[in-house]
């Protein structure tokens, strides 16, 4: 297996899980080889013949979708052009591809059912969105034309490891938290779900890979207060106030349906349990 963008936040979770499952992995970073170039990719794929390529490479300026507005060409090159080049290289070499995407493509809970993979994204370049979300959505359209590709959507990742990329850590560090209800992905559950799809030879295509159910930011803050006792009182924005004053691009708050993933036999834990376990095993960041 080959893991691209190996130094990244999500790639590190893949690396841990692949090793835990005893699966051989070659981790590629741009400082080892510039895998973003077609000729390098083609050489790597045709000579190493990996069973699967996992694409975790992305450009998220300062770890923030909004900050990508200041670096549009890098955002488009890495999140749109590169996945298309990779998908072509995979098709030409007969390599299976697992591309990591985002679930930040909808608003609301679709009448309680959650948005399925068949629902047309509400945030895209066809509607109104920032360059990060638009690049991810358009990349989905291109990669999904590859008949041997999985596209796995992650949302607001979290786990027990405190860091600026972790949704729980973000809530603890914000001066004010936006009131919103969302599907979220525990990193370890997300990567297990992705590897499960490949292992059981699930049908190729797009999969929402969040924990089951949805949870409000207020409930996550209550759990943080209950378990970690951070000694602070959370302050809240209402969503409209936040979207009108702070946000530079439209923000998705949504529930995704994981029925398609569950139908492949994957046992995805409910989000509240996953948050609670992460808090119980919390590992504060070392400074
Ligand atoms: N974290 C989130 O909140 C979140 C939420 C939803 C979706 N996602 C998706 O999850 C995937 C992985 O994201 P992540 O959070 O792991 O991102 P990340 O921590 O920023 O890592 C992305 C990796 O991409 C590689 N890369 C390739 N070209 C790059 C470029 N021009 N500039 C910067 N990095 C470049 C780098 O790895 P090397 O240096 O090792 O090559 C980098 O470490 C992406 O598809 C992202 O859209 C993330």
The predicted-structure confidence for 249-258, as pLDDT tens digits, reads as follows 888 899 999 9
Ligand 1 geometric centre to CA of 10 (Å): 7
**Percent of the chain clearing pLDDT 70 (strictly above):** 100
Residue 197 has pLDDT above 90, yes or no: yes
Task: Quote the pLDDT of residue 128.
Answer: 87
Output the CA 167–ligand 1 centroid distance in Å.
16
244 pLDDT above the threshold of 90: no
How many residues belong to the chain?
A: 287
- Going by alpha carbons, the residue nearest to atom 37 of ligand 1 is 5
Rounded-to-10 torsion of CA 86, 191, 255, 77: -20
Protein residues whose CB sits closer than 6 Å to any atom of ligand 1: 5-11, 29-30, 36, 56-60, 74, 78, 100, 102, 136, 154, 157, 165
Report the alpha-carbon distance of residue 101 to residue 208 in Å, rounded. Answer: 9
Mean pLDDT of 132-147: 98
Do strands 149-154 and 177-178 pair parallel, antiparallel, or not at all (unpaired)? Answer: unpaired
CB 261 within 8 A of CB 209: yes
Taking residues 69-82, report their average pLDDT. 98
| Mean predicted lDDT score pLDDT of the chain | 96
On the question of pLDDT at 230 being above 80, the answer is: yes
Return the pLDDT at 34.
96
Instruction: List pLDDT tens digits, range 200-215.
Output: 999 999 999 999 999 9
In the structure, what pLDDT confidence band is assigned to residue 45 with cuts at 50, 70 and 90?
very high
CA–CA gap between residue 258 and residue 110 (Å, rounded): 13
State pTM to two decimals. Answer: 0.96
- For ligand 1, the distance from its centroid to the CA atom of residue 258, given in whole angstroms, is 23
- Closest Cα to atom 15, ligand 1: which residue? 9
pLDDT bracket for residue 238 (50, 70, 90): confident
Q: Over 80: is that where the pLDDT of 243 sits?
A: no
């Amino acid at each position: 297996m080959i893991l691209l963008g190996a130094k990244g936040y999500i790639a590190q979770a893949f690396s841990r899980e692949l090793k835990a499952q005893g699966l051989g992995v070659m981790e590629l970073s741009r400082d080892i080889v510039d895998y973003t170039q077609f000729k390098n990719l083609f050489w790597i794929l045709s000579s190493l013949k990996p069973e699967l390529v996992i694409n975790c490479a992305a450009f998220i300026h300062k770890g923030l979708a909004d900050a990508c507005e200041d670096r549009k060409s890098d955002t488009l090159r890495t999140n749109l052009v590169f996945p298309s080049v990779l998908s072509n290289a995979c098709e030409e070499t007969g390599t299976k591809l697992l591309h990591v995407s985002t679930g930040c493509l909808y608003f609301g809970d679709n009448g309680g059912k959650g948005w399925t993979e068949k629902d047309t994204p509400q945030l895209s370049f066809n509607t109104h969105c920032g360059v990060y979300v638009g690049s991810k959505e358009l990349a989905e359209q291109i990669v999904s034309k590859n008949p041997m590709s999985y596209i796995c959507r992650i949302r607001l990742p979290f786990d027990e490891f405190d860091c600026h990329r972790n949704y729980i850590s973000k809530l603890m560090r914000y001066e004010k938290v936006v009131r919103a209800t969302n599907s979220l992905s525990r990193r370890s559950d997300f990567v297990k779900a992705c590897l499960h799809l490949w292992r059981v030879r699930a049908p190729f295509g797009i999969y929402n890979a969040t924990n089951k159910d949805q949870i409000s930011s207020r409930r996550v803050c209550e759990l943080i207060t209950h378990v970690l006792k951070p000694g602070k009182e959370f302050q809240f924005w209402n969503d409209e106030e936040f979207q009108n004053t702070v946000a530079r691009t439209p923000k998705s708050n949504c529930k995704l349906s994981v029925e398609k993933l569950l139908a492949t036999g994957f046992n995805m834990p409910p989000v509240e349990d996953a948050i609670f376990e992460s808090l119980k095993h919390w590992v504060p960041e070392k400074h």
